[in-house]
Amino acid sequence: MTSSSRKQNEPSKADSAPAQPHSSLTKTDVRKIFYGLTLGMFLSALNQTIVVTALPTIGREFGDFENLSWVIIAYLLSSTVVSPLYGKLSDIHGRRAMMLLAIGFFLVGSVISAAAPNMALLIAGRTLQGIGGGGIVPLTQTTIADMVTPRERGHYQAYIGTSWIVAGLTGPALGGAIAEHLHWSVIFWLNVPFGILAALLAHHAMKRLPRRAWPHQLDIVGAALMIAAATSLLLALTSGGTRVPWLSPTIFALVATSLALSAAFVWWLRLAPEPFLPLTVLGNPVMRAGTAATSWMLGAVLGLTVYMPLYFQLAHGLSATQAGLALIPIVVMTTPGSMLSGRSMMYLNHYKVTAIGGAIIAIASVTVLAIWPAMPLYGVIVALTLIGFGAGTVYPVATVSIQNAVPAHQVGTATGAMNFFRALASTLAVAIMGAILLSALGATPERSTGVELLVETASAAGIDIAMLFRFVFLAADAFVIAAFIAVLLMEERPLRGPATTQSRASTEAPPAPAE
């Protein structure tokens, strides 16, 4: 590494100053921007769940069930790989311009998906949707960082998370109702008026958001290497055990490609004058610990959300609808946990205490499930409630700590990188838990993995279904423990704030998220 490159990668005293919110925004400005951001977040979250229940209808209309899973995978892949790119570009061109671009991609993708005459064009539309939706999340988090002080920020981040809860609850039901009573394309046409409204709100409200004049260069080579490496890894994680066996040459080739591209990316980071992910960001201990904490906690919760409905159906004999209702506590209770944690950051100097306490509650609850997987249904629901609440306390603490620890002009880059690594880690966690479950049941990609076959296979082998899920719970417990350790190791740097009453909404609760 040359001395000039090293000098450019090292922060100056000015750069190392923490991000400070702008003083020109009033409470009304903050609220207007908040409404637009939340509506955009809701649309992005909704489109990850609303399509799922309509997939059988789409497959029948196009006569193509083989490629149906790509309707979901295309959105997941594209939204994951572009998140750090939006963070970097927003540091260069401003939050408002990139938010409008993200919403624009999302709207174009929605129109293409709605009008798609075949599966190929539908997948292309979903890819464009993901390119837009993947930018909305980090841009929202970064814009909040621009508006309010770090000490206040967790409170707003918690309220933003409510949009994900509403989307998770309403998405599957709404998608199923539209597919059954209307036409599946209505799912995508609905995005158009709401997307235009979100764009108008962002266009007008975010005009008041001042820009910092920080000169940046976009590292095209680094971005391409990172996106290619992530795409290969995500293809392996989403295909292994479902479309092809885990030990197949296809998976080995994808993983090997990802590792080679990752090595090239790391090599390039040390040579580029201004790398795509600056070494000062990646080397920040708060960035590393905070990203690990939110990644492994989200991976555990997401894995349980994916596989608990199957547990309820197999171990407790619930119907699909009842299993979905029983899953509500772990989804809903993350919001109270986030709100408590975010609000406590406004008043506590040792603000990690809520995340530590919440992680301990989550660990204890998952451990009880692992020790007693055949517990009565009410006990499982109580455990899921505590897991959701405990996990919710970690997210705002980790996110705000990361934004508080990086220079002002790198907040967007750090936030995008956090979302990127969190998506990779959570996908890996879900893949590991799925592999454990499918291998225990003896299911393979060559065989159907429907509920009936799983029950038949397990019964023929004399397997206790509830005890079989113990290994899934143990994996989830390991991820939660890893998140807890990361929270403990994360440096607790002082938070700046609160802002003055003339310039910022400090102690007032933000408006309820737009639904």
Q: How far apart are CA 311 and CA 468, in angstroms?
A: 10
Greater confidence (245 vs 187) lies with: 187
Give the pLDDT confidence score for residue 204 in this predicted structure: 79
Mean pLDDT of the chain: 79
Q: How far apart are CA 194 and CA 191, in angstroms?
A: 5
Work out the average pLDDT over 302-327: 80
- Coil, helix or strand for 240? strand
Work out the average pLDDT over 432-452: 62
CA 254 to chain centre: 23
* pLDDT > 50? residue 463: yes
Q: List, as one string, the DSSP characters of 328-363.
A: HHHHHTHHHHHHHHHHHTTT-SSTHHHHHHHHHHHH
* pLDDT > 60? residue 405: yes
Task: Please write the tens of the pLDDT for every residue from 128-187.
Answer: 999 998 888 888 878 887 777 777 776 666 666 667 667 766 777 787 788 778 888 998
Give the pLDDT confidence score for residue 122 in this predicted structure: 93
Angle at 92 between CA 140 and CA 159, to 5 degrees: 10
Work out the average pLDDT over 306-328: 79
Confidence of residue 97 (pLDDT cuts 50, 70, 90): confident
Confidence of residue 482 (pLDDT cuts 50, 70, 90): very high
Confidence of residue 18 (pLDDT cuts 50, 70, 90): very low
* pLDDT > 50? residue 476: yes
Confidence of residue 260 (pLDDT cuts 50, 70, 90): very high
Work out the average pLDDT over 484-488: 95
| Region of residue 471 (left: phi > 0; alpha: psi -120 to 50; beta: else) | alpha
Work out the average pLDDT over 28-56: 78
Give the pLDDT confidence score for residue 454 in this predicted structure: 58
Q: How far apart are CA 421 and CA 427, in angstroms?
A: 10
- Cα-based torsion angle of the residue sequence 363, 365, 371, 372 in order, rounded to the nearest 10 degrees: -170
Place of tokens 């004058």: 273
Give the pLDDT confidence score for residue 370 in this predicted structure: 92
Give the pLDDT confidence score for residue 84 in this predicted structure: 82
Confidence of residue 447 (pLDDT cuts 50, 70, 90): very low
Task: Please write the tens of the pLDDT for every residue from 187-202.
Answer: 899 889 988 988 888 8
- Coil, helix or strand for 73? helix
Mean pLDDT is lowest, of 22-31, 171-180, 278-287, for: 22-31
Place of tokens 């807890």: 484
Q: Are 412 and 85 in contact (CB under 8 A)?
A: no
Give the pLDDT confidence score for residue 461 in this predicted structure: 57
Greater confidence (40 vs 20) lies with: 40
Greater confidence (113 vs 437) lies with: 113
Give the pLDDT confidence score for residue 352 in this predicted structure: 92
Give the pLDDT confidence score for residue 5 in this predicted structure: 43
Work out the average pLDDT over 322-350: 82
Greater confidence (424 vs 513) lies with: 424
- If you ran DSSP here, which 8-state letter would residue 410 be given? G
Please report which helix (H) or strand (E) contains residue 348, including its range.
Answer: none
- Cα-based torsion angle of the residue sequence 290, 292, 298, 300 in order, rounded to the nearest 10 degrees: -140
Q: What is the number of alpha carbons within 13 Å of residue 500 lying toward its C-beta?
A: 6
| Percent of the chain's residues with pLDDT above 70 | 81
Q: How far apart are CA 504 and CA 228, in angstroms?
A: 41
Rg (CA), the chain: 22
Mean pLDDT is lowest, of 53-67, 74-88, 126-140, 452-466, for: 452-466
Give the pLDDT confidence score for residue 194 in this predicted structure: 87
Work out the average pLDDT over 468-496: 90
Entry pTM: 0.74
* pLDDT > 70? residue 215: no
| Percent of the chain's residues with pLDDT above 90 | 23
Most confident of 286-290, 418-422, 456-460: 286-290
Mean pLDDT is lowest, of 176-185, 331-340, 412-421, 435-444, for: 435-444
Please report which helix (H) or strand (E) contains residue 450, including its range.
Answer: none
Mean pLDDT is lowest, of 133-137, 378-382, 455-459, 479-483, for: 455-459
Q: How far apart are CA 365 and CA 473, in angstroms?
A: 10
